[in-house]
Amino acid sequence: MIALVLPLFGPFPATVQQSLAQSIVTYVLTDPLTGQAIGGMDPVSYFTEPAPLPGRPDFELVWQGAPFQFANAANMEIFRRNPEIYAPQYGGHGAMSMSRGFVSDADPLIYTVFKQRLFLFYSAANREAFLLAPDAAALRGQEHWPTLSKTLSTR
């Protein structure tokens, strides 16, 4: 009897596990403790400062379902006008991982700005691998992102 009933429950755990993963991994990578995109760093500052600046709660803007913080009102307005330019590529997920065909977390302090786009990485080694052939890695990431992004939750 158990041999007949047990296979009926086989797909259930896989289905539950898949839906949990989709609800945890969001389209824009957010800090699991604060909920902030790119760890609360100001995305515009990656382009304008020698190192990224932490954002402030009083300068917050929600984009693609995730709260982004900014160091000042001017940076928030710049982002509001052109978020596609200043937001990290692949929703802030690891750029080298995306290039390799999978989604991973990224550290907002491990980054590069390449061809006026912000790329975040899981590790310094991933950033170095990306920088060995950045055109090819970015192109592969752009090819994988449309498919992989469909598996991510918008909240």
Reported as a single tens digit per residue, the pLDDT across 30-75 is 988 899 999 999 999 999 999 999 999 999 999 999 999 999 999 9
Tell me what pLDDT residue 18 has: 40
Under 8 Å between Cβ of 79 and 73:
no
**Residue 109 pLDDT > 50:** yes
Each domain of the chain, given as residue ranges in start order, spans: 26-85, 88-150
Where does the pLDDT of residue 113 fall: very low under 50, low under 70, confident under 90, or very high at 90 and above? very high
Under 8 Å between Cβ of 66 and 28:
yes
**Residue 8 pLDDT > 80:** no
Where does the pLDDT of residue 22 fall: very low under 50, low under 70, confident under 90, or very high at 90 and above? very low
Task: Please list, in sequence order, all residues whose beta carbon lies within 8 angstroms of the beta carbon of residue 150, skipping any fewer than 6 positions away.
Answer: none
Tell me what pLDDT residue 155 has: 60
Sign of the alpha-carbon torsion through 118, 120, 126, 128: positive
Q: How far apart are the first and last CA of the chain?
A: 42
- H-helix or E-strand spanning residue 98: helix 95-99
Q: How many residues does the chain have?
A: 155
pLDDT digit string, tens, across residues 63-107: 999 999 999 999 999 999 999 999 999 999 999 999 999 999 999
Tell me what pLDDT residue 154 has: 66
Please give the structure tokens belonging to residue 47: 């382009």
> What sections of 26-109 are H helices per DSSP?
45-48, 73-81, 83-86, 95-99
- H-helix or E-strand spanning residue 121: strand 117-121
> Could you identify the residue written with the tokens 């899981």?
122
